[in-house]
Chain A
């Protein structure tokens, strides 16, 4: 099944639930009408939250840049001895 179909099915199921709620009026109608708005808003909030959390916890590795510089020096020395032209970048 294509992925978009899966997502559509999920959305349809949610819509069906919503229509069911509208029909049976378990909740007051005015509340039920607003549920899709809440849904969209909370989805947006979830996204923003995930991006925010991801940004705050973004793993960085400044020490790796230093280690790499050491590796570069080591490699250049080795290669130069063996006649590989590593003079210019």
Chain B
């Protein structure tokens, strides 16, 4: 067993944006509680008016785990990922904020390694990377892998970001740092994740990486098309001239 986490003075706010994730949100909440025993944390679910009853499930979970541990901060309609984080951040009471996807592609079992790495290095941001030893991806076809590698080589060649996985969104931020960089990020989709980390890197924040594995959407469908690639290239050009 690894040494217990020494996090007595820290509180972690885990922001999980959801849209139609009624089963996944229940599973992820269970797994977070399972893997973060003895850590002071809260889960902030930002639900964008899911029609499938995600919010009802969250209310049931509140009864099991307590309303002070699971916060439901819903919004009336689908308003996008970036604003979901800002919305969640307003209600966060921790000094650290974790951002993760609700679709179980980000497994909560990696949270202790994020927390440990942060306390060891005193970093401002810990970002999960799929592209180092110990990390990995499951469920991607050749086309998906090719696009991902191509996108990564382009970004590494032109942006020199200093991190190996730019579009991953499983990250731990010091709250003040997240508040600082989120306000100047305007991109959408996963370009938004890239913009956050590039801006943080340019501002001189200390960024460290931990390996994570990524199991692509167990339930639900994956999406990547030509328009995503165009958006990505636009995002890259935008970051080249603005950062």
Contact = CB atoms under 8 A, between A and B. Distances in A.
Interface of A: 2-4, 7, 47, 50-51, 54-55, 58-62, 64-65, 68-69, 71-72, 75-76, 78-79, 82-86, 88-89
B243 interface: yes
Interface of B: 22-23, 26-27, 30-31, 56-57, 60-61, 63-64, 104, 107, 130-133, 135-139, 142, 145-146, 149-150, 152-154, 156-160, 202, 213-215, 218-219, 239-243
A79 B26 contact: yes
18 contacts: A2-B242, A2-B243, A50-B153, A51-B146, A51-B149, A59-B131, A59-B132, A59-B133, A59-B136, A59-B137, A61-B138, A65-B139, A65-B218, A68-B215, A69-B218, A75-B26, A75-B30, A89-B22
Nearest to B65: A82
A64 B215 contact: yes
Contacts of A47: 153-154, 157
A39 to B, nearest CB: 14
Given A4-B240, A55-B142, A64-B213, 4 more contacts: A2-B241, A61-B135, A64-B136, A71-B107
Contacts of A61: 135-138, 213-215
Given A59-B133, A61-B215, A84-B26, A68 B104 contact: yes
Contact of A4 (B27, B61, B157, B241): B241
Contacts, number: 106
Of the candidates B27, B63, B219, B243, the one having the most CB atoms from chain A within 10 angstroms of its own CB is B27
Chain A interface, >50% SS class: helix
Contact of B215 (A55, A65, A79, A88): A65
A84 B142 CA distance: 38
B239 A3 contact: yes
A58 B60 contact: no
Given A83-B63, A85-B57, A58 B31 contact: no
B23 A86 contact: yes
